[in-house]
Structure formats: structure tokens, C-alpha cells
Amino acid sequence: MHLAGDRSAAYAIAPPDITTVAVAGMDAVFPVARVFCVGRNYAEHAVEMGHDPDREPPFFFMKPADAVVPAGPLPFPTKTQDLHHEVELVVALADGGRDIPADEALDHVFGYGVGLDMTRRDLQAEAKKAGRPWDMAKGFDQSAPMGEIRAAEDIGHPDKGAVWLRINGEPRQEGDLEQQIWKVPETISFLSTLVALRPGDLIMTGTPKGVGRVEPGDRLDGHIEGVGDLSVSYDS
């Protein structure tokens, strides 16, 4: 899933590899620049997390690009007794920009995928209680498993459709893309007022209700209608 960096330049050390995501129907892969995540973008999820479901300006956190890994078997994360799953629509950008109008935002999208925002909830709760950043609750190694990206020219721009996650075959999360508080064009537009977006950026667009605990040995199967699937299993 990684490609070597440009070795022709003079670097003090070997440059890091480029993180990539497979693209459906292509031999070429999608290079990841940055990973932005939208918090509490489904009202019922906001409620289950103890927050007001009313529409408020979107807020964002980030994961390192190399937190993105392909679906499949993964080691269980360290330093947590309360690992949680969050299945999400992932938006992959082909073009960047600043202050992008919402009615032009979808022109910047390359495609869409299914991702998991894995969260060390116990670390997050401790950090929140102490008033500290919770980067290590969200941005740890292999915290963003993703399925392949499907090009928008093939599937369009999905704005409705079932979103679900099952653990060991049992339903856990259920929702629909149309339940998003901030739709994809609005999210891209708002985020572009905060940072200049770049080609290769990924946006994880929030999760529906039903987040919960993952145990060693669990198998997670996620699905977004019209976009795709992913399956992740954790070592016992």
C-alpha cells in the first residue's frame, strides 16, 4: 500500500514512503496527502456521545496519512481497554483550493470509499477530562482502515444510501448518508476556509449512531450503499 518517495533529490535521510489507497478498476493508486475527520456529523451519534444534536459549525480533527491501511487482518491496538469503531464515508480529493464555494465543491472530488475511524475511547475520555488534546486517541498507527476508492465518474456523488457496520455478523451501526448534518459539498467548502485543501486529501465525514466496543478477535464488516464494503479483523 506504500510507494517509495522520490529518491532523486538530496535528502539527509531516506524520505518516507507515500501512503496510497487502491482505486477500483485501476492499476493506479490514490496517493494520500492528509486525513481530515469531521466530528459529530450525525445527530443521533451526537446524542449518544452526550452532545446537543442541533446543527453547529463543523469541527475537524486529523489522522496522520500513514494511519490509513488497507482492510484485512490487523494487530489489536496497544494502550487501550476500550477500542471503538466508527464507520464513515471517505471523500478523496483530486483538486485542492481555498475558499471553495459549496456549489463547486464536488468538482474537486476524485471519488469515495468506506473507512473506519478507530478510536481509543478510554484515552479520548481521559484527555477530554484533563482538557488535553486527544490526538493519540484518534491518530494512532493503523487507526484508519479503508476499502478501495471508487471514482466519482463511475458512481456519481452519493448523498443518500444505507451505512452500516456489523461485528461478527451482528448489526452494530445503522444509518443513512442523508442523515449527515453537514453534506459533503458544505464540508469541503467549510474546511477550505480553514486550510488550503490539496490533491490527495481525504475527508472522513462522520459516523452514524451505534458506535461501540471492539474486542480482540472481532471481525468488522462495513458497507455504504453505492460506494462499497470493507472487512477488518483484529488479532486475538
CATH number at residue 132: 3.90.850.10
Q: Are 231 and 71 in contact (CB under 8 A)?
A: yes
pLDDT of residue 53: 63
- Cell numbers for 42: 450525525
pLDDT of residue 37: 98
Q: Tell me the pLDDT band of 47, cut-offs 50, 70 and 90.
A: low
Q: How far is residue 19's CA from residue 221's CA, in Å, rounded to a whole number?
A: 23
pLDDT of residue 3: 47
Q: Is the pLDDT of residue 213 over 80?
A: yes
Report the candidate in 119, 130, 109 with the shortest Cα–Cα distance to residue 61.
Answer: 119
Q: How far is residue 158's CA from residue 185's CA, in Å, rounded to a whole number?
A: 11
Report if residue 206 sits inside a domain. Answer: yes
Domain that holds residue 152: 32-234
% of the chain with per-residue pLDDT over 70: 92
- Helix, strand, coil shares of the chain, percent, nearest 5, are 20, 35, 45
Query: What's the number of domains the chain is made of?
Result: 1
Q: Tell me the pLDDT band of 93, cut-offs 50, 70 and 90.
A: very high
Please give the average per-residue pLDDT across 183-195, as a whole number: 98
Q: Are 26 and 6 in contact (CB under 8 A)?
A: no
Helices (H), the chain: 43-48, 121-130, 135-138, 152-155, 184-194
Q: Is the pLDDT of residue 4 over 80?
A: no
Report if residue 5 sits inside a domain. Answer: no
Report if residue 121 sits inside a domain. Answer: yes
Least confident among 43-52, 68-77, 126-135: 43-52
**Interstrand relation of 119-120 and 150-151 (parallel, antiparallel or unpaired):** unpaired
Within 8 A by CB and 6+ apart from 127, the residues are 133, 134, 136, 137
- The four Cα atoms 3, 152, 186, 121 give a dihedral, to 10 degrees, of -50
Q: Is the pLDDT of residue 200 over 70?
A: yes
Please give the average per-residue pLDDT across 187-208, as a whole number: 98
For the entire predicted model, the pTM comes to 0.93
Please give the average per-residue pLDDT across 152-175, as a whole number: 98
Instruction: Give the largest Cα separation in the chain, rounded.
Output: 52
Q: How far is residue 7's CA from residue 225's CA, in Å, rounded to a whole number?
A: 41
Report if residue 27 sits inside a domain. Answer: no
**Interstrand relation of 87-93 and 202-204 (parallel, antiparallel or unpaired):** antiparallel
